[in-house]
Structure 1
């Protein structure tokens, strides 16, 4: 009788942990999708494409930029992961680094950076 209760309790506990893990994974995928779709919206605005200033892209898509920033700490983790895994170092990576600096606020250890990958390199050096 006691063994059945222990086994039943163990199964319930394992099920609960699996549901929590799946829920966190789905939430992370949702944040990742939200960031990616908003970044695509920002970089593909025809009005912005005449400028070489990344801030013009942000200014032309304030709603998309705000949605990225509204992802909070989860979004920061996704941005850093995506920036780290990106093979490129262009506008999109610059935007990811800029969003990361805004999400970090005063916790941002990098003062001067030239590109998204430059910011990430300095950020990682300061985090270690």
Structure 2
């Protein structure tokens, strides 16, 4: 009887852990999809393509940028990973750095930066 209770309890715990792991994966996938779509929209805006100011891309699509910010800590981790793995250092990387800084708010250790990779370098230096 005791063995049956233990097996049932373990099965319940395993099931609960499995379901919670699926939920985290679904949240990460949702955040990744939101970030990818939002960055593609921000960077690909043809009306703003003539601007050399990255802030214009954000201001021109504030709702899309807010969608990135709403992805929370999962989104922040994804942005940091994408920024680090990106071989480029252009508009997309600048927007990823700005979104990361905005998501961190007062916890952002970097205040003066020129590019996405510059922000990341300073961020890593200040958090190590």
Tell me, in whole angstroms, the C-alpha distance in 1 between the residues paired with 2:11 and 2:104.
40
Scaled by the length of structure 1, what TM-score is found? 0.94
**Runs of 4+ more than 4 Å apart:** none
How many residues end up aligned between the 2 structures?
128
Tell me, in whole angstroms, the C-alpha distance in 2 between the residues paired with 1:70 and 1:26.
16
Is there any run of 5+ residues in structure 1 with no aligned partner, and where?
none
Shift of 1:73: 2.3
Scaled by the length of structure 2, what TM-score is found? 0.94
Shift of 1:77: 1.6
Pairs within 5 Å for 1:79-90: 79-90=79-90
Tell me, in whole angstroms, the C-alpha distance in 1 between the residues paired with 2:78 and 2:52.
26
| CA displacement, residues 75-100 of structure 1 (integer Å, 9 cap, x when unaligned) | 21221121112121111010000011
Which residue in 1 is equivalent to 2:95?
A: 95
Tell me, in whole angstroms, the C-alpha distance in 1 between the residues paired with 2:44 and 2:93.
14
Tell me, in whole angstroms, the C-alpha distance in 2 between the residues paired with 1:23 and 1:97.
27
RMSD of Structure 2 on Structure 1 (CA):
1.1
Is there any run of 5+ residues in structure 2 with no aligned partner, and where?
none
